[in-house]
Amino acid sequence: MKILIQNGYVLDPETKREGVLDVLVEDDKIVKVADKIEDAADRVIDASGCYVMPGFIDLHVHLRDPGLEYKETLETGGKAAARGGVTTVCAMPNTKPVTDNAEMITSIHERAKTECPVNVIQIGAITVGQLGEELADIEGMAKAGCHAISEDGKSVMNASLYRKAMKIAKENNISIFAHCEDITMVEGGVMHADEKAQALGLKGITNAVEDVIVARDILLAKETGVRLHLCHCSTEDSVKLVEAAKKEGLPVTAEVCPHHFVMTTDDITEDDGNFKMNPPLRGKCDVEALKAGLKADIMDVIATDHAPHSAEEKNCSMRRAAFGIVGLETMAALTYTELVEPGILTLMQMAEKTSYNPAKILGLDDKGAIAEGKVADIVVFDPTKEYAIDKNTFLSKGKNTPFHGRKVKGEVAYTLVSGNVVYER
């Protein structure tokens, strides 16, 4: 099977090559990228006026499968990913039961092959049941192909236990994906601690709740030499700490989620659970620092923390709502509209942070690029389309978003996974 993608503006973050080019896909691989390709093809995709980028690799997704299928499944999460241009998702282990063993990693990978239209990399938990007491079989999960371990949803508060986990991760050549939150400092907070929280009569979560664990985790990575990826950084001081770690040459990378670079607490108009996520929407200084950090390549990755929940769990006061919002179907448009259009990121940086850098962090050398011999995971993105985000169009089971009705520019036109069109608008 041959697919010819014609006339698109191609962005290859590996070689930094960009320009109007044709891309020829044969079976699961990219076989040619050139000015004008005349080869016969089974299918021609006209990408005129569109960007042709390596498929997005989302390091931070909650697929909720197994056990929480009322929120999302491998199938629905996969369809949402495909619609969002995301060709590989890293699935977090806070499933039911917790994904804390090799058998579950293997079983999810096997099921994903038939149930999910995009690639799934299942991340393993750090401790058994994410209870923070006993280390999971990290070596077994690494051998089963988890690529990284994470306690996402919480931090491993016992630094000694965590350090042991880091040493095992390092020995097995996998990364730590760190959720940074000192649970002893949360004190019932449900949103960022500022005047807005006071006005709404809600308890706050201060920046230090995140920052002290970011600092601790960097120091532990320095001591153990493990590759540390900091999830959903939301504060100004997180950016400063990551910058300092990089200056020291430590193997530390960091991600920012679209909601954290698009919204501040000023956007919280009422006590609505759809504005509740962990870490929370922060203040103006934080958002400016995150954007500057992305621009300066201190922050490496844009990931969604796609966290689907049911309407009952979200359409209520922030006091009672679950933490988390969906993100797979809005990531590309929010990134393009809020970062690329205003000139904060170049298109090439968008391709780096949504695909190439995540591929590098996962050690996927055949992904994250548009070049001969690479896997044909490709997104065709139409930057001209203007529309309002409509949660009722989401393919995800989760409709929990604070972006419903927000005007954006840019829409995914086609998504290819291993040379198969898994989504077309």
135-154 footprint of Zn ion as x/- string (CB under 5 A) = -----------------x--
- C-alpha closest to that of 325 among 197, 191, 125: 191
Judged by beta carbon distances under 5 to 8 A according to partner kind, the member of ligand DOR, Zn ion, none in contact with residue 189 is: none
**Which of the residues 271, 286, 305, 382 is marked catalytic?**
305
Are the C-beta atoms of residues 204 and 192 closer than 8 Å to each other? yes
Under the binding rule (CB under 5 A), the answer on residue 305 touching Zn ion is yes
Q: How far is the CB of 264 from ligand DOR (least distance, A)?
A: 17
Q: From the list ligand DOR, Zn ion, none, pick the one residue 277 interacts with, judged by a Cβ distance below 5 to 8 Å according to partner type.
A: ligand DOR
**What tokens does 250 get?**
């430590």
- 3 state DSSP class of 290: helix
Q: Which is nearer to ligand DOR, 136 or 180 (CB)?
A: 180
SS (H, E, C) 261-284: HHCCHHHCCCCCHHHCCCCCCCCH
Q: How far is CA 407 from the centre of its chain?
A: 22
Residue 72 touches Zn ion, criterion: CB under 5 A: no
Which of the choices Zn ion, ligand DOR, none does residue 415 contact, using the CB cut-off of 5 to 8 A by kind?
none
Cβ closest to ligand DOR, residue 22 vs residue 152: 152
What is the rounded distance in angstroms from the CA atom of residue 124 to the CA atom of residue 149?
A: 5
Starting at the edge strand found earlier in the chain, the sheet holding 301-302 runs 148-150, 175-178, 228-230, 252-256, 301-302
Min CB(176)–ligand DOR separation in Å: 15
* Binding of ligand DOR by 98 (CB under 6 A): no
Give the one entry of ligand DOR, Zn ion, none that residue 323 binds, where binding means its C-beta sits below a cut-off of 5 to 8 angstroms depending on kind. Answer: ligand DOR
Helices (H) and strands (E) counted in the chain, each on its own, are 13, 18
Which option in ligand DOR, Zn ion, none does residue 275 bind, with CB closer than 5 to 8 A by kind? none
The nearest distance, CB 339 to Zn ion, in angstroms, is: 21
Q: Which does 324 bind (CB under 5 to 8 A by kind): Zn ion, ligand DOR, none?
A: ligand DOR
| 403 forms part of the interface with ligand DOR (CB under 6 A) | no
Please tell me whether the peptide bond between 251 and the residue prior to it is cis, using omega within 30 degrees of 0: no
Nearer to ligand DOR, 78 or 368 (CB): 78
58 touches Zn ion by CB under 5 A? no
Q: Minimum distance between the CB of residue 131 and Zn ion, rounded to whole angstroms?
A: 17
Which residue among 323, 336, 394, 414 contacts ligand DOR (CB under 6 A)?
323
Question: Smallest gap, in angstroms, from Cβ of residue 372 to ligand DOR?
Answer: 39
Site for Zn ion in 110-129 (CB under 5 A): none
Under 8 Å between Cβ of 267 and 402: yes
Q: What are phi and psi of 104, to 5 degrees?
A: -65, -40
E strand or H helix at 102, and its extent? helix 102-115
Residues 6+ apart with CB under 8 A from 403: 259, 262, 330, 334, 389, 391
| Pairing of the two strands 252-256 and 29-34 | unpaired
Closest to ligand DOR by CB, 290 or 307: 307
Q: How far apart are CA 276 and CA 258, in angstroms?
A: 14
Query: What gap in Å lies between CA 93 and CA 64, rounded to an integer?
Result: 8
How many positions of this chain bind Zn ion (CB under 5 A)?
A: 3
> Is residue 286 close enough to count as binding Zn ion by CB under 5 A?
no
Rule CB under 5 A: say whether 300 interacts with Zn ion: no
Q: Determine, following the binding rule CB under 5 A, whether residue 217 of this chain makes contact with Zn ion.
A: no
Surface-to-core class of residue 104, CB atoms within 10 Å of its CB (0-12 exposed, 13-18 middle, 19+ buried): buried
Question: Which two three-digit tokens encode residue 182?
Answer: 């000192």
Query: How far apart are CB 355 and ligand DOR at their closest, in Å?
Result: 23
Q: DSSP code of 183?
A: G
Residue 189 interacting with ligand DOR (CB under 6 A)? no
Q: How far is the CB of 313 from ligand DOR (least distance, A)?
A: 9
| Other beta carbons within 10 Å of 384 | 9
* 194 among known catalytic residues: no
Question: Is 324 an interacting residue with respect to ligand DOR (CB under 6 A)?
Answer: yes
What tokens does 422 get? 């898994």
To the nearest 10°, the Cα dihedral for 399, 314, 353, 422? -30
Answer with the entry of ligand DOR, Zn ion, none that 94 interacts with (C-beta below 5 to 8 A by kind). Answer: ligand DOR
Is 152 one of the binding residues for ligand DOR (CB under 6 A)?
A: yes
Q: How many residues sit close enough to ligand DOR to count as binding (CB under 6 A)?
A: 11
Least distance between Zn ion and beta carbon 278 (Å):
6
Q: How many residues does the chain have?
A: 425
Within 128-191, residue ranges assigned H as helices are 138-143, 159-171
- Binding interface with ligand DOR (CB under 6 A): 62, 94, 152-153, 179, 277-278, 305, 307, 323-324
- Binding interface with Zn ion (CB under 5 A): 152, 179, 305
Catalytic residues: 305
